[in-house]
Amino acid sequence: MKKVDLIIERAAQIITCANGGKPKRGTVEMQDVGLIKDGAVAVQNGKIVGVGKTGEIRRRFQTENTIDARGKTVAPGFVDCHTHIVFAGNRLDEFELKIKGADYLEILEKGGGIISTVNQTRNASSNELSEQSRRRLDEMLKNGTTTAEVKTGYGLNLTTEFKMLDSIAELDHTHPVDLVPTFLAAHAVPPEFKEKTDQYVDLICEQMLPLAAAWFEDSHFTLEETPFFCDVFCERNAFDLAQSRRVLETAKELKFKLKAHVDEFTNLGGARMAIELGATSIDHLDKTSEEEIKMLADSETIAVVTPTVNFNFGSKEFADARKLIDAGCAVAISTDYNPGSAPCPSLPAAMAIACRYQKLLPSEAFNAATVNAAFAIGLGDETGSLEIGKYADVLIFDTADYRQIAYEFGANLIETVIKKGRIVSPI
């Protein structure tokens, strides 16, 4: 009998979300959460060494440290695969404007939206930026997020974009949530480049991306083999198809992994372009065409939907996640946590919205926020499911039925958050 550091046992339900080392796609896989009744998880050195029925795990392992999960649901830690949590300030004034009827692009054209946050982030000290962002990470952790992707994109100049990268690196060092960095200088056109977008793209491709690649090589992320992504907002009033392609092609040459914001408001052909370039994920997908959905289903690219954005806008239209799953796409859910379009730290809230407005079953939402989300940030072999060899990123919910997590919204059913075998919430 092998001695281990921790056994979580007697769970009413264990939701493994396991899929044999690949993302889930199609209704059969997406509706299979790998449910084990009266289940247990054995942990050694921060990794999972056994998953199964309590009796089986107890016959194989012994420990001096147990967690009795009777009447509880045990599941993988959530993976938030699209966030913008490193920023300064807020956009409370715009919240009221949106209630009065102003739309996102209208606010952006008037110098609000992303540019408002850019100004506040540029003016913040490095310490202010990190401390404000740390508080957001704390809330995400309480809501079950154990791994998150974090983008730059509120600097739009060399100094502030790299201040954001340094903040992401510091937070990854000091906070329990593991972070994956994404360079998103092509988030919006800065005021100093108004009507000179091609010149700003020159700056991104000729200076920013090479310097970001060098920053990454010298960072702890390289030592830990964490992926580094480049993203672009391919959208009207942001970056057109040719500009977006240039950014991503340049990034690919510099060995970045690729992501792309596409089809949020208008279809510019960004989905096809990003898939052809081998993007790890394409995100939003509100206006993606039937042809592009088929292309996405036939690719390795993960489809990331952001239901919190549409909900925050008060929209009746959402990305057709139901169609994406039925077509065979690998679908992930994110909060898109950001100060303007999705000020939401909770993946359970995003799952609840996806079930109601995008017609996902709770099982599909769970897989989308765990195993598929992990593959959307290049970490599908490390986290996102309860499988032997993966990190012991584990949530214990105060419910005997996992479906209640998406069914009951506005509350937090998480009792315990475990990161790499250690309880990190509540502290």
**Neighbour tally for 159: CB within 10 Å:** 9
- Contact indicator for 60, 50 with CB cutoff of 8 Å: yes
CATH of the domain at 205: 3.20.20.140
Averaged pLDDT score across all residues of the chain? 96
Q: Is the Cα torsion angle 31, 374, 74, 135 positive or negative in sign?
A: negative
CB-count burial class (<10 Å; 0-12, 13-18, 19+) for 101: exposed
* In the predicted structure, residue 32 carries a pLDDT above the cut 70: yes
Q: Which residue has the tokens 């704390």?
A: 138
Q: Do 250 and 356 belong together in one domain?
A: yes
Q: How many CA atoms lie within 13 A of 249 on its CB side?
A: 11
pLDDT at 180: 98
Q: Are residues 85 and 66 in the same domain?
A: no
Pair 30, 177 in one domain: no
Q: Return d(Cα 209, Cα 125) in angstroms, integer.
A: 23
Cβ distance 23 to 325 under 8 Å?
Answer: no
313 three-state secondary structure: coil
Of the chain, the percentage scoring pLDDT greater than 70 comes to 99
Give the pLDDT confidence of 236-269 residue by residue, as tens digits.
989 999 999 999 999 999 999 999 999 999 999 9
Residue 150 sits in the same domain as residue 242: yes
Q: Do residues 255 and 157 share a domain?
A: yes
pLDDT tens digits, one per residue of 202-226: 999 999 999 999 999 999 999 999 9
The enclosing domain of 414 has a CATH number of 2.30.40.10
Task: Tell me: do 26 and 142 sit in the same domain.
Answer: no
Which residues are bridge partners to 182 per DSSP? 151, 229
Residues 207 and 266 in one domain: yes
Q: Residue 345: is the preceding peptide bond cis (ω within 30°)?
A: no
If asked whether residues 190 and 270 sit together in one domain, one would say yes
Q: Global pTM?
A: 0.96
Q: What's the domain range around 405?
A: 2-76+384-425
DSSP string, 191-208: GGGTT-HHHHHHHIIIII
Let me know: does 184 contact 231? Beta carbons within 8 Å. yes
Decide the pairing of beta strands 257-262 and 229-234.
parallel
* 293-305 pLDDT, tens digit each: 999 999 999 999 9
Q: What is the mean predicted confidence (pLDDT) over 284-293?
A: 98
- Tens digits of residue pLDDT in 52-107: 999 999 999 999 999 999 999 999 999 999 999 999 999 888 888 878 888 767 77
Cis peptide, bond prior to residue 191, ω within 30 of zero = no
Q: How many domains is the chain built from? A: 2
